[in-house]
Amino acid sequence: MSHHSDENAVYTSTDSFWEVSNYKRTTKRIEDGNRLCDDLMKLVSERAEIEKMYAKSLKEWAKKWNNIIEKGPEYGTTEAAWKGVLMEAEQRCDLHMRVKENLINDVHSSVKQWQRDSYHKSMMGQLKEKKDIEDMFKKAQKPWSKLLEKVNKNKSEYHNACKSERSAQNQERNAGGDSSLSPDQFFN
């Protein structure tokens, strides 16, 4: 348990969700979810680009070596084996292009559509869902928050009164031992 204090009140709070304003970690998850959608779409786009570049590299490699083989001295089964490797590379190229297309058309577009359906920005740029939920939490906690503020104010006043009482007792004790003060000065 942690204790925070200022001049007017003594606050005792915990990390419990149920404490006043501790819902903010929960509502932050809405912002985090929206940001994670952006990050996931970026991740998928980057992977799709890698797939595309790999497919392009395979295609260029196969074309280069096909020209070399066509002009070279290879023939018969050796030539057929070399061209088989190149044909497999072109098929692999097609496979990676399909992976790229599926990532963009299926995964990326699905996440984007889900994000569009689930998160809506207000005119101020804030997520509407987060603001709505925070407003509901504030409204639900308002009576409790007012009571807690009153309790903390009373605690502070009580502690200040106790401190004043101890100070008065110390002054009385110290004054009782001081023979230079007359009884009239002692009680004034």
Which amino acid, one-letter code, is at 63?
Answer: K
pLDDT for position 8: 44
pLDDT for position 10: 47
Between the CA of residue 149 and those of 12, 20, 98, 163, 180, what are the distances in Å? 11, 10, 62, 21, 47
pLDDT for position 178: 61
How far is residue 1's CA from residue 93's CA, in Å, rounded to a whole number?
60
Low-confidence ranges of the chain (pLDDT < 50): 1-10
Question: What's the angle, vertex CA 33, arms to CA 30 and CA 34, rounded to 5?
Answer: 90
> What six digits make up the tokens of 69?
């083989």
Neighbours of 141 (CB within 10 A): 17
pLDDT for position 127: 93
Strand partners, 111: none
pLDDT for position 188: 53
